[in-house]
Every structure is written in C-alpha cells, then in structure tokens.
Amino acid sequence: MPTISSNTIVKNGMPFIGRVLEQVEPYMDKMFITVSEKCIDQTMNVVETFHNTHGDKVIVDTENVSRPDELTHIQQMQLDQSDTDWILFMSDDDFWPREQLKKVLDLLGTDKNILAYSISPYQLLDYEHYDESWHIKSFSKFFRREGARYIKNWPRELIADKNNAPLYWRKHPQVKKLPFPDYHFYHLSYIKDHSFRSEDWATSFRINKGSPLKLPKPFSII
C-alpha cells in the first residue's frame, strides 16, 4: 500500500481542529501539524493533547511568521520533511468522512500516471446547508510527494509538479478530478469560530457566499 502523510497549518482552528485531525489519524502514516503562535483560542492545547495521544507519527511545530504570505515557506518545509509516497493537503477546516477518505485512499497508486486527485467539498453555510457556488471548485487534496512543490504565496498558493506546472485539474493532464458528490469532504470555514478572511489584512480575500442548498443529510461532527 502507498504511504501517506497529512500536512496541516492551523491558526485558531476551534471548535473543529480536534475532530478534523482525529478523522484522518487512523489512515495516516505521519501527520505534520504547524500551529501559529498567534492563536488566541485553545488550538495549541488541543493539538498538544492529540500529539500526546498518538505519539511519534504526529510531528508538531509552531510558526510565527511576520507576513501571511510567508506561510508558503512553512508549507514547503512540511512537504520537505515528509517522506511518504503521497500527501494529504489538509486545511484545519477540512473534515473528511472516513468512508470518503477510504474511497480516495483506495485509488492511490492504482494509476502510476496520476500525480494528484482533485475533490470538491460541501462548503457548509450551516449544519444543514451548503454553498451551491462551490460546485465548480475542486482542490488537489491528494498528491504524490516526489517532485511536488509549492508555488505562489499563501493563501493563493498552488501545488506544482517538478516542472512548476500547477496540479490543477483543468490544465494538468495528470490530475484526475473525482466526481462530486460521489467523492466529497466538508469545508468548515464559514462555520468555524475564526477565518483569516475576517482579519484586517485580508480584505482582498473576502468572498461572497452563494445560494444555500440543502445537504443530503445534516452535517454532524460526531
């Protein structure tokens, strides 16, 4: 079976960061988590407890960047430290139902020409509705580690191949987009306690929410 590491950076990840990490832990060979020293919530305590519970497979670090765009360097450091076949690029607000995660993991390594799998989320507006405008968005959440690198500055960073070609499903022939909703995860950025988009520096990154659609079933973190 191919090996896989999760790479996550987190700042003010409450109230979901603990469950986000626990969801994927049984399936990861290693988990790299970098926590912002600027957190003002309980994220650091939750991550430390998670680390103590799961031991050596969890590698925790901190960052205190002076500018947000420097986070791309932190992401590259996580990638460089990873030594597994595949990477799960997991934001602190990506919640993976385990049956969905297992479906994607079963695909890894089945086609040696595939460099990445791109997946669309349910972008939650609340626990019963999602943003219909995200149907057209899809993200290369799973990618082969060898040759991969980050280009451009966070939060518009891109994962690229060894030739600096972005691993974007519309343009890269070796990126496979998986059909939504057969494959999906939940993106919790609208319903978590804090979003970087609300910070003073991030006015240009604020987005308009789309029309609400009813989820097939209410979202539950349990």
Indicate whether 221 belongs to any domain: no
Indicate whether 200 belongs to any domain: yes
**So what's the pLDDT on residue 1?**
87
Dihedral sign for Cα atoms in the order 134, 74, 30, 33: negative
Note down the domain range covering 197.
4-214
CATH code where residue 128 lies: 3.90.550.60
**So what's the pLDDT on residue 205?**
84
Tell me the average confidence (pLDDT) per consecutive run of 10 residues in the chain, 222 residues long: 97 97 98 97 98 96 94 97 98 97 97 97 97 92 98 95 97 98 97 90 86 96 76
Q: Residue 26: CA atoms inside 13 Å, Cβ hemisphere, count?
A: 8
Indicate whether 84 belongs to any domain: yes
The answer to whether residues 180 and 120 touch, using CB atoms and an 8 Å cutoff, is yes
**Residues facing 160 on adjacent strands:** 149, 166
Distance CA 111, CA 4 (A): 16
**So what's the pLDDT on residue 107?**
98
Dihedral sign for Cα atoms in the order 166, 148, 202, 184: positive
Indicate whether 203 belongs to any domain: yes
**How many domains are there within the chain?**
1
Indicate whether 219 belongs to any domain: no
Indicate whether 105 belongs to any domain: yes
**So what's the pLDDT on residue 13?**
97
The full length of the chain comes to 222
**So what's the pLDDT on residue 135?**
81
**So what's the pLDDT on residue 20?**
98
Indicate whether 20 belongs to any domain: yes
Indicate whether 60 belongs to any domain: yes
